[in-house]
Amino acid sequence: MDIISQLQEQLNEMAMLAVNTFGTLQRDAPPVRLSNNYPDPLNPAAAAAATAAANPNPDDPAAQPQPGAAAGAAPAQAPAQAQAALAQPVQAPPALDLDEHPKAMSHALVLAAKKFDALVAALPLSSEEDQLKRIKELQAENEVVGTELQKQLEAAGNMLCNILGFFFLLFIDIRQLIAYKSNELHVLLLFVELELKQVEVLFNEATDNCINLKKPD
């Protein structure tokens, strides 16, 4: 792989790491309290209790005044209940681990950036004339390699033709040998058939002599 392709691949990797890092930080970041006038987002129970104390529900029996109670004691009852609710310990949700994962992603992004810088530093620092000269040299080398490859292909083609011709001649010789052997076998069968006929004639003569009690010639 040439250095330009490596630079493109490394740049794509850096972009992917940056997008994943920023997306993860936005996804896992805890809510932030903008002002003390707003409820704490990390303690929703206390915020709900404070809201209920500030805005009591008239349908709630606890918020209604009890019969026989003093008229001056009713206004002081609501702040006392709100203070009691705020004084109760509220279990906070488990804190998110936002230390290790962002550090690891940032470290990977820094390593990718350093590798990109190393690839940029490896680029040849030469003038345009030197680069054109180098391109011409590479083209000449490419032509030489192409010519050599063409010669090798032609030699391989000639060798393949010779091998095919050899197998063709061998096939013809095998066919001729089979035909010659077939002719020899045919002649041998004719000779055997002739011998069998002679044996049959002699056997018939011997049979006739035995039946007719004749002496053999």
One domain for residues 28 and 100 = yes
Distances (CA, A) of 185 to 33, 68, 86, 111, 192: 111, 141, 120, 85, 10
- 137 shares a domain with 88: no
For residue 32, give the 3-state DSSP assignment.
Answer: coil
Q: What is the pLDDT along the chain (217 residues), one digit of tens a residue?
A: 677 888 889 999 999 999 998 888 888 877 777 777 776 666 666 556 656 665 655 555 554 555 544 444 444 455 555 565 555 555 655 555 566 778 888 889 999 999 989 888 887 777 778 878 888 898 999 999 999 989 888 888 888 888 888 888 888 888 888 888 787 777 888 888 888 888 888 877 777 777 666 555 5
Question: In the listed set 112, 127, 142, which residue is the last one of a domain according to the structure?
Answer: 127
Which of the 8 DSSP states describes residue 73?
A: T
The torsion angles phi and psi of 33, rounded to 5 degrees, stand at -85, 115
pLDDT computed for residue 57 by the predictor? 56
Indicate if 15 and 116 belong to the same structural domain: yes
Helical packing angle, 44-54 and 74-87, nearest 10°:
180
User: In whole angstroms, what is the distance from residue 205 CA to residue 158 CA?
Assistant: 71
pLDDT for residue 61 = 52
Tokens 């690891």 belong to which residue? 104
Q: Among 93, 97, 94, which Cα is nearest to 46's?
A: 93
Same domain? For 12 and 92 the reply is yes
Q: What is the pLDDT of residue 2?
A: 76
Pick from 127, 144, 179: which residue ends a domain? 127
Q: Please provide the DSSP assignment of 135-157 as one string.
A: HHHHHHHHHHHHHHHHHHHHHHH
Q: What is the pLDDT of residue 144?
A: 92
Rounded Cα distance between 13 and 21, Å, is 12
Q: Are residues 37 and 60 in the same domain?
A: yes
pLDDT of residue 178: 83
Q: What's the predicted TM-score (pTM) here?
A: 0.35
Domain that holds residue 151: 128-217
Residue pair 70/77 in contact by the 8 Å Cβ criterion: no
d(CA 61, CA 162): 110
Same-domain status, 75 and 156: no
* Residues in contact with 74: Cβ distance below 8 Å, sequence separation at least 6, in sequence order: 65
Residues 183, 108 share a domain: no
**In terms of domains, do 133 and 92 share one?**
no
End-to-end CA distance of the chain: 103
In the chain, the number of structural domains is: 2
pLDDT for position 69: 45
Q: Are residues 147 and 172 in the same domain?
A: yes
- Position 100 scores a pLDDT of 78
User: What residue has token string 């940029």?
Assistant: 120
* Residues 210, 199 share a domain: yes
